[in-house]
Structure 1
Amino acid sequence: MKTKISRARRALPSALVGLALLTVPSVAGANPFDVYGSGARSAAMAGAQVASAEGPAAVYDNVAELASARPGIRLGAFATLGQVQILLKDRPAGYDVPDLDGNSPALPSEQTRRERSDTTGLAPLYGVMIGAVTDFGTERTRGGALVMLPTNGLLSMQTHFADERERAFSNQLHVELIGERLRRPVIEAGIARKLTDWLSFGIGGTYLPGARATTEAYVRDPADQSDVGLNADIQTTNAWGLLAGATLDLPADLRLGLVYRGPVAFAIEGGNEVQVRGAGSGEDTRQVIGWIPTSTPASLRLGLAWSPGDIVLTADARLTFWSGHLDTQGQDAGFHDTLEARLGAEWQGAADTRLRAGLGFVPSPVPAQTGRTNYVDNHRALASIGAEHRFALWKREVVAAWYVQAQHLLYRTTDKAQLDAYPACTPGETRLCDEVPDATRDPRTGQPYAEAQGLQTGNPGFPGFSSGGWLGAVGFELHY
């Protein structure tokens, strides 16, 4: 009976997971502002806005800057596109997982549903932005909100394994920190006050819901797994990430900004309870769900702005705490913290026109994937340009702004480390591992299998891979 329960358990997750995901609210993924910028000015200046944010975009860039923002409404639209490739190196012969007459501890290579294949392309993202600032009828206090809504699908969530287990699913490698993770609405709000003529402080939050799902399944006939009864108990959960910032006006037209953005994650927790007819109550099976389709780690950001006359020059440094990052399966990814740099410039070219440009470099938090895992990410170099134009409409001042941004994903190649002896694929093992350990024995003879000697692995990233590509974004914004 235990064998039958196990088979039923393996057949159920796709149906249960599908049911759970249909009820999850349409907010998922990491913040796309982290990659492209929080609005036309931010994106045009490579995101270097900690000490020079304007309007509702300040909620993201530095909530303290809201204290100096002009009340009003901003509407915008943008599109992103890109091309990212993960090219797999050819597998040498002799490493496939054997069948062993049904006694193999891993899925035999000949039973893999999908061929090992490269990963190409990157889904575009289209969205609209709405932002607003109010002064509450006071001079020193401002409140603001910023919302971004994707227009080509509000919800996109994907999970995957970063090691040999992915062979049973897509049998591909996945871009870890960009792409589908960005397709989610952004909801942020904050309030700021000018404490003195030279010091401002702000606080706010970024919102993500989550889900807690428990699914009960009754298998009437283990031999006919199409006849399964399902019930679900699904509840939404809420998560807030803290936003806090301060700005300090200094002599010589300098302004210093400091921002803390707390961690926030979209999590799906719960489990599946499987009961098989004929099994005792003590043999019911519970499957634990602990997915994190995406998360944004905590970060500290320091910015400096210099505005002598018609020119504004900005510089930002961001320390992002990726060392606490969990992958989509809720496992420690082993990433390291990163320090990135961004530069921006703005020039008042005419009374009604401002020109903008920016440069930045974003290092990858992903170490060399020479062991078991296959997290794919690249250093990014970015450049951007943009402008805004002021004009009168119905006796009101209106501002139209635009930007174009390009990012180059620096080419990266990985080779799996060669070992004298390969460990078994046990939980917590980080080295490239043997899916069929040498000690695997034939239950009939008690002797080790000859086919089990040496390394057998279906890891999609073995023996190595390379990645690279580009990202681009264009956007337009109106301020009223």
Structure 2
Amino acid sequence: MKMIWMKENALASQLSRARALAALSVLLVALPSTAAANPFDVYGSGARSAAMAGAQVASAEGPAAVYDNVAELAFARPGIRLGAFATLGQAQILLKERPAGYDVPDLDGNSPALPSDQTRRGRSDTMELAPLYGVVIGAVTDFGSERTRGGAVVMLPTNGLLSMQTHFADERERAFSNQLHFELIGERLRRPVIEAGIARELTDWLSFGVGGTYLPGARATTEAYVRDPADQSDVGLNADIQTTNAWGLLAGATLTLPADLRLGLVYRGQVAFAIEGGNEVQVRGAGSGEDTRQVISWIPTSSPASLRLGLAWSPGDVVLTADARLTFWSSHLDTQGQDAGFTDTLEARLGAEWQSSADTRLRAGLGFVPSPVPAQTGRTNYVDNHRALASIGAEHRFALWKREVVAAWYVQAHHLLYRTTDKDALSSYPDCAPGETRLCDEVPDDTRDPRTGQPYAEAQGLQTGNPGFPGFSSGGWLGAVGFELHY
């Protein structure tokens, strides 16, 4: 009987490897080439990661290790994991009441800026964040080797596979939404994730892994022919759109130390979803070579480079983890491709896991994520908050059709620490010129009436339609719930 059981177990292991390898091939080859910023940065890469506040650099399991520390793949069991999750929350940006006397005047059509009474949308608060629903698919294969593993993890949003939005962080946004936007949460997270890697246990105490996170991009040129400049609705358009590819490097190492300790080190390279190109506009009656060229340089979403260090201690039935993440936000470009002026951040996360019974593991985690956004007292209105997070979860093992199946769940909550901003009051305000970072005057004091040559009285002092003037506040909470099945 023992020999028969061993043969059946070996056959099951081979089938598991074959299924995992097939699934991995499908994930890498058959998925649509659409991806963008990484929601794993906020909520975690799987049920165990999310339940332990993402503190997984030295203790990652399964395909989630591709994100948390690709070197940890070397210890992963071959198999397939399927999961689903939903996010919810109530985060708000409340605008302070505008004082009178700062609106942009019409000046009989001679104003250098859009007059306030011609703005399409009224200045308004931002009252909610769109939820995110998604599925997570992961696979690990051992390639028939004892010390080598390959894996992939994919997250697919189910409420819209791809969402791209851009906005201005200064007074120009008044001509569009006339609102402020959360810079690093919300729509930025509604993107698929595609990551893959390979790892090898080099010695009994050292493993190493490499991989990549994939983001496509686009190069788009639009040619427009305007037959009648007085009728802007009569325009002929042609488009030339080409896809581009971007890869972010993933690299990790794990050291197994005495006293049940494990040390992990991870580097995640910068990667961005970029749309480059422009518009070429030809107007009937214009001379040859007099086309108007408009440059497009959008970055709807990006993930900065980061360096992560983790420590795990596993005495007996308990696993304790601690992570530190240094994220290089100082290189971050906003959705219009402009330097945002952010600062690098150092965040901390703690996790715990307890084998409460032969079939159950309980999990919990805490973390603090500082905001890279400095006080927005000048021209820009980047909105972000420090976040304190807590999470719980569990894993349950049971038999299904004579095979072991694992079901895991988690609940996670983030508190966005309340933040208030007031624009600096200056003795005199500079003109709104490129490169100006202070709150600026949209109608310079020397703006003159072309009929009289005299400065407009209405142009004196500060005129601004900046949605963030004179100040704003932000805060709220985020949450996520999810489950996962391992086969």
Q: What's the TM-score once normalised by structure 1's chain length?
A: 0.94
SS at match of 2:58: coil
Contact 2:27/2:154 (8 A) holds in 1:
no
1:346-392: CA deviations, max 9, x gaps?
Answer: 00000000000000000000000000000000000000000000011
Contact 2:393/2:411 (8 A) holds in 1:
yes
1:272-321: CA deviations, max 9, x gaps?
Answer: 10000000123210111100001000000000000000000000000000
Note the C-alpha offset of 1:5: 66
- 295-304 or 21-30, which moves further after superposition? 21-30
Note the C-alpha offset of 1:30: 1.3
Note the C-alpha offset of 1:447: 1.3
Contact 2:24/2:151 (8 A) holds in 1:
no
Note the C-alpha offset of 1:27: 2.8
Q: 2-side partners of 1:174 and 1:422: how far apart? A: 25
For residues 414 and 56 of structure 1, do their structure 2 counterparts lie closer, same or farther at Cα, with a shift above 3 Å needed? same
Note the C-alpha offset of 1:22: 23
Superposed CA RMSD = 10.5
Contact 1:45/1:345 (8 A) holds in 2:
yes
Contact 1:16/1:272 (8 A) holds in 2:
no
SS at match of 1:79: strand
Q: 1-side partners of 2:481 and 2:293: how far apart? A: 47
Q: Which residue matches 1:222?
A: 229
For residues 36 and 187 of structure 1, do their structure 2 counterparts lie closer, same or farther at Cα, with a shift above 3 Å needed? same
Q: 2-side partners of 1:412 and 1:318: how far apart? A: 23
- 252-261 or 220-229, which moves further after superposition? 220-229
Q: 2-side partners of 1:246 and 1:22: how far apart? A: 27
- 221-230 or 191-200, which moves further after superposition? 221-230
Q: Which residue matches 1:19?
A: 26
Q: What's the TM-score once normalised by structure 2's chain length?
A: 0.93
For residues 198 and 171 of structure 1, do their structure 2 counterparts lie closer, same or farther at Cα, with a shift above 3 Å needed? same
For residues 431 and 61 of structure 1, do their structure 2 counterparts lie closer, same or farther at Cα, with a shift above 3 Å needed? same
Note the C-alpha offset of 1:225: 1.4
For residues 242 and 199 of structure 1, do their structure 2 counterparts lie closer, same or farther at Cα, with a shift above 3 Å needed? same
The number of equivalent residue pairs is 477
Structure 2 segments unaligned to the other structure (5+ residues): 1-10
For residues 450 and 226 of structure 1, do their structure 2 counterparts lie closer, same or farther at Cα, with a shift above 3 Å needed? same
Q: Which residue matches 2:131?
A: 124
SS at match of 1:87: strand
SS at match of 1:156: coil
Q: 1-side partners of 2:35 and 2:156: how far apart? A: 11
Note the C-alpha offset of 1:24: 15
Contact 2:17/2:141 (8 A) holds in 1:
no
Contact 1:270/1:289 (8 A) holds in 2:
yes
SS at match of 2:237: strand
Q: 1-side partners of 2:211 and 2:380: how far apart? A: 36
Contact 1:29/1:156 (8 A) holds in 2:
no
For residues 245 and 127 of structure 1, do their structure 2 counterparts lie closer, same or farther at Cα, with a shift above 3 Å needed? same
For residues 243 and 463 of structure 1, do their structure 2 counterparts lie closer, same or farther at Cα, with a shift above 3 Å needed? same
Note the C-alpha offset of 1:17: 36
For residues 394 and 38 of structure 1, do their structure 2 counterparts lie closer, same or farther at Cα, with a shift above 3 Å needed? same
Contact 2:417/2:476 (8 A) holds in 1:
yes
Q: Which residue matches 1:263?
A: 270
Note the C-alpha offset of 1:29: 3.6
1:170 and 2:180 aligned: no
SS at match of 1:35: helix
Q: Which residue matches 1:366?
A: 373
1:376-417: CA deviations, max 9, x gaps?
Answer: 000000000000000111221110000000000000000000
Contact 2:85/2:483 (8 A) holds in 1:
yes
SS at match of 1:282: coil
Contact 1:32/1:182 (8 A) holds in 2:
yes
For residues 211 and 23 of structure 1, do their structure 2 counterparts lie closer, same or farther at Cα, with a shift above 3 Å needed? farther
- 410-419 or 24-33, which moves further after superposition? 24-33
Note the C-alpha offset of 1:3: 73
Q: 2-side partners of 1:3 and 1:279: how far apart? A: 72
1:232-251: CA deviations, max 9, x gaps?
Answer: 11000000000000000011
